[in-house]
C-alpha cells in the first residue's frame, strides 16, 4: 500500500507506466 501514496504524488505519464509495472510484478 506504500506504492499508492508514492504514485499519487508522482503525477505524470511515467506514473501510469510505473503502476502497470508494479502491478505486473
Per-residue model confidence as pLDDT tens for the chain (25 residues): 555 555 555 555 556 666 666 666 5
Instruction: Tell me what pLDDT residue 9 has.
Output: 55
Enter the C-alpha cell of residue 22. 508494479
Cell numbers at 16, concatenated: 501510469
- Residue 18 grid cell: 510505473
DSSP E strand boundaries for 1-25: none
CA angle (16, 7, 15) in 5-degree steps: 25
Amino acid 4: pLDDT = 58
What local confidence, expressed as pLDDT, does residue 12 receive? 58
Measured CA to CA, the distance from residue 13 to residue 17 in angstroms comes to 7
User: What is the C-alpha to C-alpha distance for residues 1 and 19, in angstroms, rounded to an integer?
Assistant: 12
**What does the radius of gyration of the chain's CA atoms come to, in whole angstroms?**
8
Whole-prediction pTM = 0.17
pLDDT for the residue 25: 58
Amino acid at each position: 500500500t506504500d506504492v499508492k501514496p508514492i504514485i499519487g504524488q508522482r503525477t505524470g505519464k511515467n506514473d501510469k507506466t510505473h503502476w502497470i509495472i508494479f502491478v505486473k510484478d
